Each structure stands twice: as structure tokens, then as C-alpha cells.
Structure 1
Amino acid sequence: MKARASSQSKATLLAQHVRAGKVYRREDLAPYSTSVDRELRQLVDQGALHKLAQGLYYKPKKNVFGEVPPDENELLAAFLKDKNFLSFNPSVYNSLRLGTTQLYNKTVVYNHKRHGEFVLERRRYEFRMKPRFPRPHQVTPEYLLVDMLNNLDDLAEDRGSILAAAQRKLASFDRQKLQKSLEQYGSAATKRLMKRWQTAEQQGSAA
């Protein structure tokens, strides 16, 4: 009984080092405990922490509607141990108005650390390792066009219809920004496709 009370006391001490609404990795909390795994299990059992993934925990924050989910950027940064990533829902391609209308129930995360599908806090994430990707504030319609063409085989819509619409509206994109995005982020197939379109456009202008 005494040992159990002592263990609960330690878990209570560990709980003092976590703040509501924050995501923590096991190694963040290990310095505050000599038996961190046992105490983390106790805090999870008590509902004081949520276990999001192996070694990843969230201290619930509440408002009048109940528990608030963790901030997505903080969640992904903790999971990846890296703040350098780009997350988006493929539905963002719909903003290009090229005929895509599908709504996707997943978030794609370009990063340098992890690859594969994971469920974190009841949300599905598809992590893809990429050598290069822009910062969130650098995402432009031109980048989205290049990225959409890179991922065309993953989309639910008819490939031919999307390609035809994209070629028709090519001139509506900023040419310099499009070329820069193509050079930095375009796949080999996308670069070949864009070159054919640009050649056809030039030949049409010449005629």
C-alpha cells in the first residue's frame, strides 16, 4: 500500500511538468522521473495524458465543448522530432480549379524523417520523405500545380480531364514562378510533360 502511494506520488510529480495543450516525447519527460515508463502508464490510465503514438503523449486541454485536440503543427513536429515539414490535404488541389473536386480524409506530410501511414489522435497521416519541399508560406498556385502533376496517379479524378484542363490554363499561371517550382520540385515525368506543353504553346504562338 505504501509503495503504491509512493508510486502515485511520483506520477503526480511528473504531471507537474506537463502543461495542458502540449505534446511531449518520452525523452522530454525522462529527466523528471527515475521510472518514467511506469509513471507515464499511470498518467495515461488516470486520463491525465493521452498516448498518441509510441513515446508520444499529449496533456489534454479542455474548453466548454470538451477536450481540445493537440495543435497539428506541434503534434507533427514532436512526432518527427523536426520542425521542417509541409503538411496538406490533397483537396487543396481543388483551389486550382482544374476539375478536381474530391475531398480526402487524410493529411500528407512531406518531411525528411519518416515514411508511411500513421494514425495520430484519431487522424490519418501519410508521411512521405522528400529531398525538397517549400515552407508553408512559400506554397503558391504554381507549386500546387507542379505537385499535383507529380501526384496525378494518386488522385481519384480522371487523369485525362485534369491534364487537358491544366494545359488549357497553363498561361494563367505566373511563368517565372512556375518554372522555378518545376526546377526545384518537379519530378522527371512532370518536367517532361511541362516541356511538351511549353513547346506546343510556342509552336501555337508561332503559327
Structure 2
Amino acid sequence: MTALSALKKRLRPGQVYRRQDLARWSNAVDRHLRQLVTEGTLEKVGAGLYMAPRPTRFGQAPAAPEKLVSGFLRDDRFLMVSPNAYNSLGLGTTQLYNEPVVYNRKRHGRFQLDGRAYDFRVRPSFPKTVTPEFLLVDLLHNLDRLPEDKAALLPRALERARRLDRARLARVVNTYGSARAARLLEPVLAEGVAA
């Protein structure tokens, strides 16, 4: 068995690999990577990042965004949020976004992975899952980045905050919120204390 065929046996369809992961199993990793990409066994999806394509009856399936991001960061601790989720808050937002935001502890900037742009933002803390409270706090934090009418959106966001669980909202603001979000939500949270 050749070193290349031994490396091929370790590859799993749909999995994402870093160059250094593959170097453990190869005595000539760069040559083997070139050969595997040329023959279609691997596909380059980012700098030093490769995916073993998963064939479907409709062609090659793209890598799962979570696997791409995890491979890129070399970490499973991140939160991927699509700004499209703001539309679920019922605030009248209608914009559609192509670029998911990835809150993480390692990388900052816009990066292309498998032909899709991701906006990586370093944050000291973020929840494991997206909740309505987190989405609202995140929307307020990113208000200036949104193409929506801010003067119309802010009062609707504060009204929506009044309908959320105030204790959970206060925890999210204290744990994950920016100073701006805390300042904007302060009157709403104060109402909950006074009631």
C-alpha cells in the first residue's frame, strides 16, 4: 500500500481537514495534497483547509458551514448567527444577508470558506445557542451596521424587549451585551424592576 492510498483511507466524505491534520498521516503532505486535489478526492475550501467531497445524486454536496468554521478556527467554541434571524423578532426588518457572523475567541475579519464569505468577530463570551433575547441584544449592538431605518427600528426593538422575559434579557445584557445595548435597554430593564 502506498503512502497516498493510506492517506486516502483516512478521509471521510463531508469532513473538513487542515493541512497539519493530514501531515500526521503523510510523509509528503504537500505533494499528496496536490495529487488529491487534482484527482478530486479533496477540494481546497480555504487557506490550508480541505474537504473530502460528499457525493449526492445531485452532485457534490458542500461542506456543512459548522464543519468549515470549526476546521478554520481549530475550535468548536463559536456561535454562527445569520443577520437574517433578526427578521424573526417581528420588528419589520426584511433585509436578507449572505454573510453569516461567527462569534468566536480567535479570529477577526472577513474570510472566504468554500466560496462563501463569513464575518468572524472576536468576542470574550457568547451563548451556545441563539435565543430571542440574544438576537435582540445583538441587533441593538449592530444597529449601525444594518441598512434598516434606525429611527423606526429602535422603538420597535425596545417594545419587543418589553415583551421578552426581563430576567433572561437582563442576564443576556449583563453576560453578552455591549455597553451600547445595555444603555439602550436600561429603561426597559428598569421598568421590570419597578413593576
TM-score (norm. length: structure 2): 0.93
Paired residue for 2:139?
148
Structure 2 alignment gaps of length 5 or more: none
Structure 2 SS opposite 1:177:
helix
Give CA deviations for 1:26-48 in whole Å, capped at 9, x if unaligned: 11111221111111011111111
Deviation, 1:167, is 2.3
Paired residue for 1:172?
163
CA, structure 1 residues 169+28, in 2 after alignment: closer, same or farther (shift >3 Å)? closer
Distance 1:53 1:105 in 2: 18
CA, structure 1 residues 198+19, in 2 after alignment: closer, same or farther (shift >3 Å)? closer
Larger Rg: 1
Counterpart pick for 1:14 among 7, 14, 17: 7
Instruction: Judge which range, 81-90 or 169-178, deviates more.
Output: 169-178
Distance 1:55 1:120 in 2: 11
Paired residue for 2:152?
161
Deviation, 1:184, is 0.8
Instruction: Judge which range, 123-132 or 168-177, deviates more.
Output: 168-177
Distance 1:111 1:72 in 2: 14
Paired residue for 2:124?
131
Residue 191 (structure 1) aligned with residue 186 (structure 2): no
TM-score (norm. length: structure 1): 0.88
Structure 1 alignment gaps of length 5 or more: 1-5
Aligned length: 194
Structure 1 SS opposite 2:84:
helix
Residue 26 (structure 1) aligned with residue 15 (structure 2): no
Give CA deviations for 1:87-145 in whole Å, capped at 9, x if unaligned: 01101011101121100011110000111111111111010000010002xx2211111
Moved over 4 A (4+): none
Q: Percent identity?
A: 48
Paired residue for 1:89?
82
